[in-house]
């Protein structure tokens, strides 16, 4: 069975509690944090993470689509985020940030944009807990899935099997039942989905469909 991280980016923000109640069977809540610079859009801050953590019993991960994530991670960590994901292009010293997060016993993820060469993260692969493969260009929900990124997924899955690495593989962007099946077959452990869950009919049903996918 697949694990599903529900992105609340496309949830009805005026009824966020009710929207989250619909997906209480999710394995994780995925927060897309945008600064208007690294990506064009703005989203929400650590206060949203804090309130979700206070009201619900979810594992929360924060995807920092921001420049200089070393300036922001602690706010989300203190607000209840158990995993911090950042982009290799967003910081001058990825290893220093990884070590800082590990020192604070935080799960660490690195994100790969569709155009980012997977080789850029290989030197850090043994030190991280998760690789997030972006299957759309980051910054907004509802985009179409980019099939070409599945080559990265296959490569990373083969790499961890060959060398015994323990990082998880997560994919985000354009995930529905059809694209989710393709991704899981290539080795994905966690599907991030938002617009499909909240905007394509019954949220509970859509979540269960994604969770039912088997490798």
75 in active site: no
pLDDT at 170: 99
Distances (CA, A) of 210 to 59, 105, 144, 155, 193: 18, 30, 17, 23, 9
Strand, helix or coil at 87? strand
Q: Which domains does the chain have, with CATH numbers?
A: 3-211 (3.20.20.70)
Q: Mean per-residue pLDDT for 146-157? A: 98
Q: Which of 10, 35, 129, 172 is catalytic?
A: 172
pTM of the full structure: 0.96
Structure tokens at 28: 């994780």
The yes-or-no verdict on residue 157 having pLDDT over 90 is yes
pLDDT tens-digit series, residues 46-75: 999 999 999 999 999 999 999 999 999 999
Structure tokens at 168: 């998880």
172 in active site: yes
Q: Which of 12, 27, 32, 148 is catalytic?
A: 32
Q: Which residues of 50-85 are buried (b: 16+ CB within 10 A; e: fewer)?
A: bebbeebebbbbbbbbbebbbebbbbbbebbbbbbb
């Amino acid at each position: 069975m697949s694990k599903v991280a529900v992105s609340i980016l496309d949830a009805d923000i005026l009824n966020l509690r009710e929207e989250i109640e619909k997906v209480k069977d999710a394995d994780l809540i995925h927060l897309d944090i945008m600064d208007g610079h690294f990506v064009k859009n703005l989203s929400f801050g650590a206060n949203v993470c804090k309130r979700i953590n206070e009201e619900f019993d979810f594992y929360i991960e924060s995807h920092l689509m921001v420049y200089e994530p070393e300036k922001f991670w602690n706010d989300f960590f203190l607000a209840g985020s158990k995993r911090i994901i950042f982009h290799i292009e967003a910081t001058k010293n990825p290893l220093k940030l990884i070590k800082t997060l590990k020192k604070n016993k935080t799960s660490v993820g690195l994100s790969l944009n569709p155009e980012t060469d997977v080789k850029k993260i290989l030197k850090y692969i043994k030190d991280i807990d998760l690789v997030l493969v972006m299957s759309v260009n980051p910054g907004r929900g509802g985009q179409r899935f980019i099939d070409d990124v599945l080559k990265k997924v296959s490569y990373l899955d083969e790499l961890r099997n060959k060398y015994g690495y323990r990082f998880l593989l997560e994919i985000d962007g354009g995930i529905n039942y059809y694209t989710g099946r393709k991704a899981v077959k290539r080795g994905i452990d966690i599907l991030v989905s938002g617009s499909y869950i909240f905007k394509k009919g019954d949220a509970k049903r859509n979540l269960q469909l994604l969770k039912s996918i088997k490798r």
